[in-house]
A and B are shown apart, each in its own frame.
Chain A
Amino acid sequence: TQLLEQSPQFLSIQEGENLTVYCNSSSVFSSLQWYRQEPGEGPVLLVTVVTGGEVKKLKRLTFQFGDARKDSSLHITAAQPGDTGLYLCAGDQGGSEKLVFGKGTKLTVNP
């Protein structure tokens, strides 16, 4: 059983479109992180959300943590080819030295 479910698994859009990807769980997390990974490279941390209902913005990317701290979303406005990559969410359940990772959403932005 996957603790963090990410949807969609694959997303292919045209440059300039908006999109939202989701990270859902039935478990509560102390915090959630979003990472972006490009082919052949390690994931890069984008943001950490820790408070239920929290919204963080990073240029054209908007991250939201659910009120119950069980889910999160990533919205990209006016997507660009440079946004292409694998978006991974990861959760910290508190009291553990480990993160739980979702399987990721593979985003392709076509010029």
Chain B
Amino acid sequence: DAGVIQSPRHEVTEMGQEVTLRCKPISGHDYLFWYRQTMMRGLELLIYFNNNVPIDDSGMPEDRFSAKMPNASFSTLKIQPSEPRDSAVYFCASSPFFAGTGELFFGEGSRLTVL
């Protein structure tokens, strides 16, 4: 298994543009998480899904951010319109049975730069 796959690995865009980040979780994993990593705030949980259903999106910074999981093998995180303060590394992680184990399997991250 190639693990959690994220794309693109790097994205440079201009303020105001739409950004879509993609994630393919490990097959059979029921949980999918989106995290954002910055120097100032560390790793922040944005949203997570269980069996494709969003469970907690309280970490989504504002309405410009949205996430979907149309099926068990694909999720997107969209930012529209993007702003320079959105520049960060965005991680996707999945887990087969998260509750009680605490083990997440992370992707390599998508580094976003908004100019």
Report if A and B associate in a common complex: no
Q: Which B residues contact A (CB, under 8 angstroms)?
A: none
Residues in chain A within 8 A of chain B (CB atoms) = none
